[in-house]
Amino acid sequence: MLYQIFETQRSIMEPFSDLAQAAAKLYSNPLNPMAQTPLAQRVSAGYALMHRLGKDYEKPEFGIKTVKVNRVDVAIHERIEIDKPFCELRRFKRFSDDAATLTQLKSQPVVLIVAPLSGHYATLLRDTVKTMLQDHKVYITDWKNARLVPLSEGEFHLDDYINYVQEFIRHLQATYGHCHVVSVCQPTVPVLAAVSLMSSRGEKTPLTMTMMGGPIDARKSPTSVNNLATNKSFEWFENNVIYRVPANFPGAGRRVYPGFLQYTGFVAMNPDRHANSHYDYFKDLIKGDDASAEAHRKFYDEYNAVLDMDADYYLETIQTVFQDFKLVNGTWDVKGVDGKVERVRPQDIKGTALMTVEGELDDISGSGQTRAAQDLCTGVPASVRKHLEVEGAGHYGIFSGRRWRDMVYPQLVKFILNHAPKTASKTPAPVKPRVEVKIAAKPAKKVVTKAVTKAAAKPVTKPAAKAVAKAESKTPAQAPVKAAAKTKPPVKTAWVQTAKKA
């Protein structure tokens, strides 16, 4: 009933939101005499704010049209590689008419980015994808809004999530012979389970597995997110946050954790911060600061766009990850697509290099939660493990923004390159035993980029005309609430690999 009430209210507000948008444009149009009155700018700003507070936010686009590779603009074509009932494997295919650039693109490693299914869409990782496209072939899991999935498609469980990840890994391995996996936030747990199961069966596993800001062991440094999951019973979540999709959607009747409830949880944790942000937007419009106003719009277009999660998946994640801690306790059994139940054993992973990344000020996944994967994967040699703690970074800073680009990505691209096949680079850097050091606050981005570029470049061996005609080789929960920022923890040491200078 609550879901239906919300949809009714949204439908009533929609025409008023559109009217407010029209009024904002009317009072800001220089050809309108009313726009010349003293209070016109304030009236226009007020209507613009009203429009944004009342509008419905749809799924954003990735919108990545080009990236620069060695100062050459490379065109990006976004397409769906595999379409599953609850997820799309999305590929960002790169094209270039520069022969040398094209040869380099072909030789670069293949990366599967597993996006979180915890409230927001995969477009939250837009900056992650755009940055990685400079040096990798990139695929991403693009999870669907559960209210748009008909009941005829069946249920979606945490086990299905894991099976999807395994299928996508096998697809990339069959296409390219190998792949690397990067998981951000919530999917670190199911990705670790997927690779563990593949290793236990004797299947080929990814060359590297990078885990960023995820709740591998939610008992360590618990945040408000963790406390909510542990202080409330499984029955409480089932009775208070699960509703059926109304009749006006394709997924009518499906039990979901609605996006509007998740959004309410996001805002309720920091109401003052959001109120001040909207007031600043109002003042920016009055001052005519278009750049700041546009930055506000871009952020909230992404932040306010939320999706419904299937109830079975959500409730099982709460119980498995945040209440029973089945992964770290070694009691997690997963049902495969063939119906066979298997135990998740991270210690069976041997041929996959492991990198974990944490933000020093992460208020979603506390300090040590992601690093716990290092203790679970005992079969992975110490020489191919790496941990990075990013100074001054919060949860979003480790995969988006300046710290991601300047501090995390240079380390990640070197890690992947060090464990890529010999054909992926001209002179791959050898792996050395790990050494305990302090993470530098600002790695030299230009030097790293130059080194990677030099290592990845290969001389053209085919006629230019033939090379230009071809593109790349043939062939995307945590409890969704945001905690207030924690007190800054002490800087920790991290395991970092050393490599020869390229």
pLDDT digits 0-9 by tens, 170-221: 999 999 999 999 999 999 999 999 999 999 999 999 999 999 999 999 999 9
Q: State the pLDDT confidence band at 441, using cuts at 50, 70 and 90.
A: very low
Say how far apart CA 257 and CA 180 lie, in whole Å: 31
pLDDT single digits (tens) 482-498: 333 344 444 443 443 33
Q: Tell me how crowded residue 461 is: count the other CB atoms within 10 A of its CB.
A: 7
Count other C-beta atoms under 10 Å from residue 447's C-beta: 12
pLDDT value of position 77: 96
- Distance (Å) of CA 383 to CA 372, 418, 428: 17, 12, 16
Asked if 358 contacts 370 with a C-beta cutoff of 8 angstroms, the reply is yes
Percentage, residues of the chain above pLDDT 90: 70
Residue 50 has pLDDT above 70, yes or no: yes
pTM of structure: 0.81
Tens-place pLDDT, residues 9-42? 888 999 999 999 999 999 999 888 888 888 999 9
Report the C-alpha gap between 42 and 33 in whole angstroms. 15
Per-position b or e across 83-120, b if 16+ CB within 10 A of its CB:
ebebbbbbbbbbebebbbbbbbbbbbbbbbbbbbbbbb
Query: Is the C-alpha dihedral spanning 280, 284, 290, 291 positive or negative?
Result: negative
CATH of 71-220+346-420+431-480 given 3.40.50.1820, 3.40.50.970, 3.10.450.50, 3.40.50.740: 3.40.50.1820
Q: What's the pLDDT at 486?
A: 40
Whole-number Å distance between alpha carbons of 38 and 21 = 20
pLDDT for res 422? 67
User: What pLDDT is recorded for position 487?
Assistant: 41
Q: By mean pLDDT, which of 109-113, 193-197, 391-395, 478-482 is the weakest? A: 478-482
> Helices 445-456 and 409-418: crossing angle, nearest 10°?
30
pLDDT computed for residue 357 by the predictor: 97
Confidence at residue 282, expressed as pLDDT on a 0 to 100 scale: 95
Residue 77: how many CA atoms within 13 Å on its side-chain side?
8
Q: Are 94 and 67 in contact (CB under 8 A)?
A: yes
Give Dmax (Cα) for the chain.
75
Answer whether residue 84 shows pLDDT above 50. yes
Dist CA 438 CA 456 (whole Å): 28
Residue ranges covered by each domain of the chain: 2-56+259-303, 71-220+346-420+431-480
For the chain, give the mean pLDDT.
85
Distance spanning both ends of the chain, measured CA to CA: 62
Name the token pair of 179: 């792949």
Q: Label the pairing between strands 110-114 and 180-184.
A: parallel
Determine which of 1-10, 43-52, 168-177 has the lowest per-residue pLDDT on average: 1-10
pLDDT at 456 over 50: no
Please enumerate in sequence order all residues whose Cβ is within 8 A of that of 194, keeping only pairs 6 or more positions apart, or say none: 162, 163, 165, 166, 169
Note the Cα 256 to chain centre separation in Å. 21
Calpha distance 421→483 (Å, rounded)? 41
pLDDT in tens, 263-314: 888 788 778 989 999 999 999 999 999 999 999 999 999 989 999 999 999 9
pLDDT in the model for residue 363: 86
Task: For residues 17 and 57, give the distance between their C-alpha atoms in angstroms, rounded to a whole number.
Answer: 12
